[in-house]
Structures are given as C-alpha cells and as structure tokens.
C-alpha cells in the first residue's frame, strides 16, 4: 500500500458513498434519523478536498488527515467513529511512502480497536462493528493463507475483507440494535439493515476496487 | 418536500444568517458555526455551552443570552456538532472559570462533546459536563444506548444558566445541571413524521388514525405505534409513564414543560396542558411553574412532549431568575 | 384529521381550561368565554379588548396582560366572537375610562364588535374602535369586503397597549392603533392548508410543488396558486407586494414581524427572515425592531406572513415599553 | 301564521340545517373558512333549546327570541345577519298569537332590510341576499296572485319563496363575490355556490315544509 493507493482508496470510497448516499439515508430513515448518507457524503467529500489540497508524504499521513477531516466535518455518530478509526490506522502505520500488506492489516485492526473503544459496541449490536470486524478478520485470514507480499496479496485480502463486510452487513438485518440511535426503537429495529454497517461495506468494497490489479 | 429554503445544504447556515440579523445580542460566527452571547467571555463566569443537531429550534441557539447559555453549537440538521465547533465555543466563552457542556445523550453528541472536552483540556480550559437523558419512553437497559435527552435539556440550561450567572464554579453548575436532569422525565407522542431538508421525504409513514408513541426528537420512529386516542387518554398514558419512571409525591412541587414538536398548534398544546394539569392536581402534585409552547422541536413534526421536573426551592429560585434570550425571557 | 383533542365541539373551551391552568395572571371566564387580565379593571385606565375566531394562537388571549390587552374574546375556531362576549369583556375591564376595541376587518368581526359597541354604549361604557386591515394581498376595491386584518393586529395591540398603560384616553389610544395599522402592511404564503376540528378535513388541496399565495389566516384559499419557489424568490415577491402598497423609504425605520402560520418550523422562519433582512438592507430600510416566531397563526397551516410597519420614535418607544403576557414579554 | 307554526318552522329549519351542516361546511371550505355548517347548526340548535325552554305568547316574540339567540350563539358573519333578520321580523309583527300571511310577508321583508342594512350587500354580491330577496319577492307575488287568507295562502306563498330561494342560490354559482370572506378570493370565488345563500334556501324550504297543509 503506497500513498497513491491510499488516496485512490479514499477517492473510490468517496465516489461509492456519493452514489449510495440516498440509499444510506433511506436505511437510516427506517431505524434512525435519515442522515447517514448525508453525513458520509459530506465527510468523504471533505476528505477528497483535503487530500487534493495536501501532499502527504507517508501513507499514514494520508489516513491521519482523512480521519481528522471526518472528525471535523461529519458530526453525529459516524463522524467520530470513522474518523477515529482512520486516524488510528494512520498513526499505527510505519513512516514512509509505502507499507506492506501485513502492516496495513494491523493498521485496519488498530482502527477497529479505536472505533470500538470510542463507541463501546460489541459484535451483534447492529453497528459498524458488525461489518468492520469480520472484514478485518477475513483480511488477516486471506493474508495468512495466500501470503502478503506485493500488491497481489493486498488485493486478495481486500477482496476477502469486502466480501466479509458484505456478509456482516447483511447479517445485521435480523439483529436488534443495542447501540446508537436504532437502539431506541427496541424490537422495531429488527428486520432492517444497519446504515453504518452498510457504509462500512462500501468502504471495504472501495478498497478492493482500488487495490484490484 | 415543501419548505421555505433555497437549497437543502444551505439551510443551517442561512438560518444562522437570519438569526444574526434578528438578534444583535448574539454573535453568530458563520465560519465556526457557533452562536455566542455578545458579552462573552465574562471574567470569572463559567461558560455554559450546549449544542446538538439543528432542527430543534429554538433550542439551543434561542437559549443563548443572559441567565442561560453562553454559546450554542448547531450541527447540521439532526447531526451533532463537530469537536472543532465546540472547541471554538469554549474558547469564545471561557472567562477563566472553565466551561460546562450540556450534552443530550445520543451516541454522536456524547462522542463529539467528549472529543471537544479533550481538545479544550489541551488548551487549558476546564470542562465539566452534564449529560441529559430524561426520555423515559426508552428504558435504560443493555439493549439501548441509554435514555435520550429531550425536553429536560432546556430546564437544565435555564437552571444551570441561572446558577452560573450567580457566580458558581464549573463543578457546582454541572452538579446542579445533573440534579435537574435526574429530577426530570419526559415522554413524547407524534401525530406525523418530519421531513429533513436533506432527505426530502418523511422519516416514516403514519396512518390517518395512528400515532407514534415514545418518539425522540430526530424524526425517528417511536417505541410503538398505536391507534390515535382522545387527548385525555393520551395525557393519562403519558403522565403514567413519566410518574412511573420518576415519581413526584403528593404535596411536592413540579416544573412542567408542555412542549410542541413543531407543527402542533398552540391551541392543542393548551388543551393538552389542561388535561395534564387536571391529572397532576388529582395526584396532589403542585405545578409550581410551567411553560406551554414550542421549545424543543423536531422540524415539522406534529406532536408533543411533556416534561415533569420535581422541584425544590432552589430550583424554583433559579427558574425565576432573570433570563434574556431570543426564546425565553423574563425578569429583564 | 389528527389532533390532540377530545371532541371537535369542545376544543375552544378545553384549551381555555389549559390556558387558565397555565397562567394564573389571567382570569379565564369559561361561562362568558373571555380572558381577562387579573388586575382588571384598573381605575382610570382605558381597557383594551380584542378578539376573533380561535385558531390564531397565541393571538389574542396570549397577548392579555400588562402593557398589552386587558381582555380577549375568543370565538369558536375561525368564527368571530358574539356581542355578549365582547360586552362581558367591556364590563370586566372598564375602569371608567372606556374601552378600545381592536377589530380585524372581517365581516363577522366587524358586525359582532359593532353590535357589542352598541350594547356597551347602552351600559354607559365609552367604546372606541381600531379596525385592522393590513393584508395587502387583497386589494381594497368594490370587489372585496376591504383588506383583511392579519399580522399587524399584534403590533397594534402591543403599541396601543403601551399607550393605554401610559394613561392615554380612549380616543388617543384608538387613534394611535389606527396609525399603526395605517403604517403596516402584511402578505402571507401557505405551503399547506389547515384543518379545523369541526370540518375535519383540509380547507383546500395543494400539490406537492405548489404554494398558495396571498392567503388569509382562516384557512381560506389565497389569491392565486403558484409553483413553489426558493425562499429568496418568495421573499422578494412578498416584500415587493408589501412595499408597493405601503412604501418605506430608504433611511426610515421599520418594525418587522416574521410570522409563522403554525406548522412551519422556526428554522425556516429564521432563514426567511435572513432573506427579508438582506432585501430591506439593500433598500436602505433600517429594521429597528423585529420578531421571528409564531404569533398570528392559522391552526396547523404551514406558511408564513411578513408584516412591515413604518416606525417613528414614538412607535419604537411604545414597542419597547414593558410587556408581560403569555406570548410576549420583556422589560419586566 | 301562529305560534305553533312559527316554532314548527324554526324546528324544521334546525333539522334541515343539522342534516345539511356538512354540506354547508364543504361549500364554505371552497370559498371561505369551513365553518358555515358548524355555525348554523350551533345557532339553530340553540334556537331549538331556547324555544323549548320558553313559552312566547306571540308570534313576534318567537322570532325575536330566535334572532337574539342566533346573535348570542353564532358569531361570524351569519350570526348577526340571520339574527338581525329574525329579530326585525319578530319586532315588525303585530302583537298576538297569530298574524296573517300579509303581515308575515311584510315581516320577512323587514328582516331582509335589516340584514341588508347590517351587511351592506346588494343583489349579485354572492351572499344571503341573493336567495333571500327573490324569496321575499316570490312570496309577495304569490300572495298577490292567490290571496293570503288562511294557512293555504301562506303555504302557497312559502312554496313560491322556497322555489325562488333555490333559484337564487343556484344563481350564485357564476357570481364573483363582493362581500364577506369569499370576496378575498377575487375571481377564484366564481364557480362555487354561496354557503349563505344555501342556508337561506334551507330556511325557506323549511318554511314551506312546515306550512304545507
Ligand atoms: N456505538 C457505536 N459503535 C459503532 N457504530 C455505531 C455506534 N453508534 C452508532 N453507530 C453506527 O452509526 C450509524 C449511524 O450513523 P449516522 O446516521 O451518521 O449518525 P447518527 O446516528 O448520529 O445520526 C449506525 O447505523 C451505526 O452503524
Ligand atoms: N355582507 C354580507 N351580507 C350578506 N351576507 C353575507 C355578508 N357577508 C357574508 N355573508 C354570508 O355569510 C356566509 C358565510 O357565513 P359564515 O361562514 O357562517 O361566516 P364567516 O364568513 O364569518 O365564516 C357567506 O356565504 C355569505 O352568504
Ligand atoms: Mg443518522
Ligand atoms: Mg444524526
Ligand atoms: Mg368563520
Ligand atoms: Mg365561514
């Protein structure tokens, strides 16, 4: 993973979120307050602008800047959560314009840990965690299985992560929310797909797309 | 969607332009998106800061001024403000005695205010916090993110604001705010959904004979859906839920907020208030003070919330203290 | 129809029960259906009386109190009060200096107040009248019953009320009220119809992309129907109509009432106010005072009205005078 | 016309108005404020109660009481107008428990005059006057033609009045209102039947029904 790929990932994610913003908002209308797509779109649009205007020398700096931008521009629950995750990812990476797939994987997990520390959600609570955790696990498993050298390893691991995120996302449908706004609905949250888990899938899918050879 | 707006993305900003034009007593910083009392910071006075998503007007910006908030941080519609805003507000109002955050208990608000508190601490500003979670429609359980903050927020802002005006330190003001919150319970019922400018369509659909029971103030669906009932039955059900969660004994005083969610006409709020007043009287509870009107709203949602705060002489004294803000004013 | 009511026939009465419970400063006579300031009659003070159909809350009962009205006569929803009510109010507030009727120019209001004035005269009470007809959406022609009274009514009530408080006689107070009316112009636009409890269905239908231009405050259709437009264009159109009818010159002062018709959220009213303030500034008009909120409403109608009153030092002094009523309070 | 018939007329009118209240309100929704049926029903219900509780000795007293009740209970435009008309009718009648058809006709015209004096409406303004005026004219014409002695004459005159009121009512449809609330609509008032003219027809129809042999 180098600076160009890092930027390409976030750009691809911004495109996907812009394209799916309406869908994310509709999901949030059912069990939340109809703003998740708007929030994510505002945030990733700002990330795109910030990255276009800056020339971060290291991969880590790209993610730290992106994370800080999300924290500064989004608000709501998703802003601090995704922002902290990206910041932790950025800060956990070794300095330099390129990091290997294993370090990047460890960084993704550091991001997850930061998000979980901040939000306190456990798997099964019907949140971002339900897509993010299986994605990171799948990434690691793929790396262990196929080896992580070169971009080929990263691409395969990212593909596995995106697929696991999608499964995790779909698995939120039958869950009753225990965290975030959807928890106020009690049993009425059952039967709806979690908006945050959905945006998480979009982000991992964007990684897979950007990393595809 | 039919609204008096120019573009969904510009609503919050353009409303702040209007707020600034209407209230020269307020300093509206469009860059930072904060609303600050014109005379802030005042040396030695604790600065009261609140904020949250927009769409609940007049809360919070309408409560900035003498005897209430020193600053408000309006986020996008139904989206909590970002830490930068809250930090900017802290810098604008800290007169050396630190600041108190009044935070409604939503995941986003809690996290953003928490991050801001850390940033403010880094800048040497003492931060105390009051977490408001008065909505008893939500049970506080492992199944929820805790109770939501709704109508009691303005009671906390008024009473803590009066105490700050008296010169109390940040810890004292925050402790008092927490006490008001603990003494307060709210419950809301909607007759219609609301429409955020960005979404452009209602958050849910409701039949012509249905009401949404136990709603929050962000257009989300409520705890359950029921057949619409006469005002008297609705009042009975609402008050039972409130008093079951936070009893007020016969002979005790209460401050009551009969609040409209935005699109319900005042004539209905007064009618409802009459029902509540009758029920509370039967229960022997003395309504020492009350407000009837639209204070903590949810855009164009038709609905109401009731907040009952068990009061004591200190709370009543602070309630009566002078206040001069766009939306609440007396004694001055 | 979805409302917080018990029965359509009981709405006005039950809302008055709630009003009485909420405001011990008011004397609510359910028998006569009048709302009287608790300290009325005051010897030697002219009694200000207004009234009209219910459904415009807080007007008029919300404006009863120190420095404004001495009594309000709420009729049934959108139906002017009857002479008996108005006579009862006159008897309750006449302190020997006579009373002033503030009447909105509708056939029903005019006739009922006129009959009441005759009855009051028979009882030896001097009656002066102010007729409010500020709505410039209606041309005053042989084709109409004259212009309607809308938003300016509360300006008349505030300013005439302050003058009465100063001890002026009935003729002086009435002349001043008439002067305020003549200096004022209003124009309203609706985004939705309203539903009266008795009718149970909206007064008209409006498409998702339509607005009703030049509406009154009784749910009646407006002068014309147009495609919905951005707030800026709506503000331009509204202000042009107002200034064409009653020009305010560059350099002159104005009192501006940015009024919601009931179901329009405050955030939109502030946004609109920002537009109006910008336009008036461009025209060189100084907004000396303003109010933004729901003051003269039309039940659950989504919409707004703007009232512009050309002001002078006397009007501003009286505007600033202390007022303590349920819906308007400052300086005390 | 005797006391019993006077009461029967007002009772019949109250029945008709109660039955048609919704229709009157619907007409008022189109060009007014959706309350004419409610107003009239409240008023005539109160008249019924007032008459049931009182024992007026003369025909005139019946109408004076009814008119005063309308003035006291209705409000709006219709209360003072109909109230003044009935009061003027009552006051114009000779004392006594019975009056002849000619005196009653003169009384109806006195009522019309009072109503016109108060409201200032001319024929063609799309108001009560457009049904009331032709009704009174038709009443008088019928009386002149067929003679007015006995209840037969009154019945025939009332029938003619009701028919003329109906025609006048229907003729309000193409008119543009010049008085009352409908005038604020400008040309949009054209094409709708006037609510007040409609209630006037109901009242004259009730007279015809009550007086029918
Ligand atoms: N404590 C939490 N931990 C992880 N994710 C959370 C938590 N609370 C909420 N979320 C996620 O945030 C999403 C909602 O984000 P968004 O709509 O942008 O914020 P808000 O709820 O403040 O309106 C939810 O769908 C959920 O996935
Ligand atoms: N000046 C007038 N003269 C005669 N009839 C009038 C006049 N103004 C209004 N009306 C009648 O009154 C009717 C409306 O009555 P109603 O709805 O009860 O009162 P309001 O207009 O006060 O709501 C109209 O349909 C019209 O026929
Ligand atoms: Mg959301
Ligand atoms: Mg939100
Ligand atoms: Mg009416
Ligand atoms: Mg009417």
Q: Is the per-residue pLDDT at B160 higher than 90?
A: yes
Task: Tell me which residue in C5, C209, C266 faces B58 most closely, judged by beta carbons.
Answer: C266
A181 touches B: beta carbon within 8 Å: yes
pLDDT for position D151:
60
Q: What ligand has the least distance to the C-alpha of D84? A: 2
Is residue B113 classed exposed, middle or buried when 0-12, 13-18 and 19+ CB atoms within 10 A define those classes? Answer: buried
CA B79 – CA B67 distance, rounded (Å): 26
In this prediction, residues A202-208 reach a mean pLDDT of: 98
pLDDT for position A150:
61
CA B146 – CA B186 distance, rounded (Å): 14
Q: Is D121 in the pocket of ligand 2 (CB under 6 A)?
A: yes
Question: Whole-model pTM?
Answer: 0.97
First to last CA, chain B: 40
User: Looking at chain B from residue 137 to 196, which residues have their Cβ under 8 Å from any Cβ of chain A?
Assistant: 138, 142-145, 148, 196
Q: In Å, what is the CA distance from B50 to each residue of B296, B297, C192?
A: 13, 16, 33
Length of chain B: 332
Strand partners, C213: C189, C224
Band (pLDDT 50/70/90 cuts) for residue A87 is very high
Summarised one tens digit per residue, pLDDT across range C123-140 is 999 999 999 999 999 988
CB-based contact B108 A118, cutoff 8 Å: no
Q: In Å, what is the CA distance from A206 to each residue of B106, B272, C120, C231?
A: 29, 52, 80, 38
Q: Is D153 in the pocket of ligand 2 (CB under 6 A)?
A: no
Task: Tell me which residue in A32, A38, A119 faces B220 most closely, judged by beta carbons.
Answer: A32
Summarised one tens digit per residue, pLDDT across range C47-84 is 999 999 999 999 999 999 999 999 999 999 999 999 99
pLDDT for position A56:
87
Q: B4 to chain C nearest CA, in Å? A: 5
CB-based contact D34 C78, cutoff 8 Å: yes
Determine the residue of chain C that is closest to B195 in CA distance: C265
Q: Whose CA is nearest to atom 13 of ligand 2?
A: D196
Summarised one tens digit per residue, pLDDT across range C75-111 is 999 999 999 999 999 999 999 999 999 999 999 999 9
Q: What is the 3-state secondary structure (H, E, C) of chain A?
A: CEHHHHHHHHHHHHHHHHHHHHHHHHHHHHHCCCCHHHHHHHHHHHHHHHHHHCCCCCHHHHHHHHHHHHHHHCCCCHHHHHHHHHHHHHHHCCCCCECCHHHHHHHHHHHHHHHHHHHCCCCCCCCCHHHHHHHHHHHHHHHHHHCCCHHHHHHHHHHHHHHHHHHHHHCCCCCCCCCCHHHHHHHHHCCCCCHHHHHHHHHHHHHHHHHCC
Domain residue spans in chain D? 3-211
Summarised one tens digit per residue, pLDDT across range B61-96 is 999 999 999 999 999 999 999 999 999 999 999 999
Ligand 2 atom at minimum distance from D33 CA = 23
Q: Is the per-residue pLDDT at B140 higher than 90?
A: no
Summarised one tens digit per residue, pLDDT across range C182-206 is 999 999 999 999 999 999 999 899 9
Determine the residue of chain D that is closest to C202 in CA distance: D29
Chains touching chain D at 3 or more Cβ pairs under 8 angstroms?
C
In the residue annotation, B60 being an active-site residue is answered as no
Q: C1 to chain D nearest CA, in Å? A: 14
The CATH architecture assigned to A3-211 reads Alpha Horseshoe (1.25)
Q: D125 to chain C nearest CA, in Å? A: 9
Chains touching chain C at 3 or more Cβ pairs under 8 angstroms?
B, D
Q: Is the per-residue pLDDT at A152 higher than 80?
A: no
CA A167 – CA A201 distance, rounded (Å): 9
CB-based contact C4 B292, cutoff 8 Å: no
Going C118 to C120 to C126 to C131, the CA torsion angle's sign is: negative
φ, ψ for residue C69, nearest 5 deg:
-85, 150
- Residue C128 region by backbone torsions, left for phi larger than 0, else alpha for psi between -120 and 50, else beta: beta
D188 touches C: beta carbon within 8 Å: yes
Determine the residue of chain C that is closest to B230 in CA distance: C6
Ligand 1 atom at minimum distance from A74 CA = 18
CB-based contact D79 C204, cutoff 8 Å: no
Summarised one tens digit per residue, pLDDT across range B199-214 is 999 989 999 999 999 9
pLDDT for position B220:
86
Burial letters B123-160, b for 16+ CB under 10 A, else e: eebbbbbbbbbbbbbbeeeebbbbbbbbbbbbbbbbbb
In the residue annotation, B56 being an active-site residue is answered as yes
User: Looking at chain B from residue 6 to 25, which residues have their Cβ under 8 Å from any Cβ of chain C?
Assistant: 6-7, 11-12, 14-22
What is the whole-number distance in angstroms between the Cα of residue B148 and the centre of ligand 3? 14
Summarised one tens digit per residue, pLDDT across range D169-189 is 999 999 999 999 999 999 999
Determine the residue of chain B that is closest to A179 in CA distance: B145
Under 8 Å CB pairs connecting chains C and D tally to 117
**Contact present, C286 and C316 (Cβ < 8 Å):** no
**Contact present, C177 and C159 (Cβ < 8 Å):** yes
Strand partners, C195: C202
CATH topology of domain B10-183: Rossmann fold (3.40.50)
Determine the residue of chain A that is closest to B137 in CA distance: A184
CA C77 – CA C57 distance, rounded (Å): 10
- Please indicate whether chains C and A are in contact, defined as at least 3 beta carbon pairs under 8 Å: no
Determine the residue of chain B that is closest to A176 in CA distance: B143
Identify which of A79, A213, A61, A72 has the alpha carbon closest to the alpha carbon of residue A150: A213
Q: Is the per-residue pLDDT at D148 higher than 80?
A: no
Residues 6+ apart with CB under 8 A from C235: C272, C275, C276, C279, C306
In this prediction, residues B141-160 reach a mean pLDDT of: 94
SS3 B27: strand
Task: Tell me which residue in A38, A186, A188 faces B198 most closely, judged by beta carbons.
Answer: A38
What is the whole-number distance in angstroms between the Cα of residue C331 and the centre of ligand 2? 42
Query: Ligand 6 is a single-atom ion; what residues have CB below 5 A from it?
Result: D 28, 32-33, 35-36
- For C35-38, which contacts have Cβ atoms below 8 Å and span 24 or more sequence positions? C35/C60, C35/C61, C35/C64, C35/C71, C35/C72, C35/C73, C35/C74, C36/C64, C36/C70, C36/C71, C36/C89, C36/C92, C36/C93, C37/C64, C37/C65, C37/C66, C37/C69, C37/C70, C37/C71, C37/C93
Strand partners, C186: C135, C307
Marked catalytic residue, from B23, B60, B101, B218 = B218
Is residue B308 classed exposed, middle or buried when 0-12, 13-18 and 19+ CB atoms within 10 A define those classes? Answer: buried
Q: Which residues line ligand 1 (CB under 6 A)?
A: A 28, 32-33, 35-36, 39, 76-78, 81, 119-121, 127-129, 179-181, 194-197; B 79, 107-108
Marked catalytic residue, from B23, B56, B60, B101 = B56
CA C179 – CA D17 distance, rounded (Å): 43
Higher-pLDDT residue of A105 and B141 is A105
- Please indicate whether chains B and D are in contact, defined as at least 3 beta carbon pairs under 8 Å: no
B63 touches A: beta carbon within 8 Å: no
Burial letters B170-185, b for 16+ CB under 10 A, else e: bebbbbbbbbbbebbb
Q: Answer whether C10-183 and C185-319 agree in fold.
A: no
Residues of chain C with pLDDT > 70, as a percent, come to: 100
Domain residue spans in chain B? 10-183, 185-319
CA C315 – CA C162 distance, rounded (Å): 10
CB-based contact B3 C230, cutoff 8 Å: no
Is residue A76 classed exposed, middle or buried when 0-12, 13-18 and 19+ CB atoms within 10 A define those classes? Answer: buried
CA A143 – CA A109 distance, rounded (Å): 14
Q: What is the 3-state secondary structure (H, E, C) of B163-198?
A: HHHCCCCHHHHHHHHHHHHHCEEEEEEECCCCECCC
Query: Which residues from chain C sit within 8 angstroms of residue B265, using beta carbons?
Result: 55, 57, 262-263, 297, 299-300
Task: Tell me which residue in C79, C80, C220 faces D184 most closely, judged by beta carbons.
Answer: C220
Q: B312 to chain A nearest CA, in Å? A: 31
Domain C185-319 has CATH 3.40.30.10: no
CB-based contact C203 D181, cutoff 8 Å: no
């Amino acid at each position: 993973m180098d600076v160009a790929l890092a930027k390409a990932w976030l750009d691809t994610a911004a495109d996907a979120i812009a394209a799916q913003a309406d869908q994310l908002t509709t999901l949030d209308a059912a069990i939340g307050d109809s703003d998740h797509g708007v929030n994510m779109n505002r945030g990733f649009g700002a990330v795109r602008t910030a990255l276009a205007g800056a020339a971060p020398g290291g991969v880590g700096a790209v993610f730290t800047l992106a994370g800080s931008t999300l924290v500064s521009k989004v608000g709501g629950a998703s802003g601090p959560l995704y922002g902290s995750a990206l910041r932790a990812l950025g800060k956990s990476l070794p300095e330099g314009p390129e990091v290997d797939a294993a370090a990047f994987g460890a960084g993704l997990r550091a991001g997850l840990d930061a998000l979980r520390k901040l939000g306190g959600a456990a798997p099964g609570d019907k949140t971002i965690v339900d897509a993010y955790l299986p994605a990171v696990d799948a990434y690691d498993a793929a790396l262990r299985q196929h080896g992580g050298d070169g971009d080929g390893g990263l691409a395969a691991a990212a593909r596995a992560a995106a697929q696991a995120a999608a499964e995790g996302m779909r698995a939120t449908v039958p869950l009753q929310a225990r965290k975030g706004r959807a928890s106020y609905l009690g049993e009425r949250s059952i039967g709806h797909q979690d908006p945050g888990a959905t945006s998480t899938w979009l982000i991992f899918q964007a990684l897979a797309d950007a990393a595809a050879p | 969607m039919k609204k008096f707006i120019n573009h969904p993305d510009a609503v919050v900003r353009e409303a702040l332009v209007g707020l600034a034009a209407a209230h020269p007593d307020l300093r509206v910083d469009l860059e930072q998106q904060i609303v600050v009392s014109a005379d802030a910071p005042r040396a030695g006075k604790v600065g009261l800061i609140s904020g949250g998503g927009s769409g609940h007007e007049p809360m919070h910006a309408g409560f900035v001024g003498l005897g209430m908030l020193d600053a408000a941080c309006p986020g996008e519609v139904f989206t909590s403000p970002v830490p930068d805003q809250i930090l900017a507000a802290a810098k604008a109002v800290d007169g050396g005695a630190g600041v108190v955050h009044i935070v409604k208990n939503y995941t986003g608000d809690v996290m953003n205010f928490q991050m801001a508190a850390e940033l403010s601490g880094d800048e040497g500003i003492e931060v105390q916090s009051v977490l408001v979670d008065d909505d008893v429609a939500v049970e506080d359980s492992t199944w929820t993110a805790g109770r939501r903050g709704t109508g009691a927020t303005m009671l906390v802002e008024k009473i803590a604001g009066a105490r700050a005006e008296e010169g109390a330190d940040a810890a004292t003001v925050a402790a008092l705010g927490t006490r008001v919150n603990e003494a307060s319970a709210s419950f809301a019922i909607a007759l219609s959904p609301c429409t955020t400018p960005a979404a452009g369509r209602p958050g849910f659909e409701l039949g012509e004979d249905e009401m949404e029971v136990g709603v929050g103030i962000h257009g989300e669906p409520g705890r359950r859906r029921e057949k619409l009932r006469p005002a008297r039955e609705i009042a009975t059900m609402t008050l039972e839920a409130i008093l079951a969660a936070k009893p007020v004994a016969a002979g005790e005083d209460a401050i009551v907020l009969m609040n409209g969610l935005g699109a319900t006409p005042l004539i209905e709020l007064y009618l409802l208030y009459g029902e509540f007043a009758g029920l509370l009287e039967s229960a022997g509870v003395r309504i020492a003070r009350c407000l009837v009107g639209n204070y903590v709203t949810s855009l164009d949602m038709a609905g109401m919330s009731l907040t009952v705060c068990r009061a004591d002489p200190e709370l009543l004294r602070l309630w009566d203290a002078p206040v001069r803000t766009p939306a609440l004013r007396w004694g001055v």
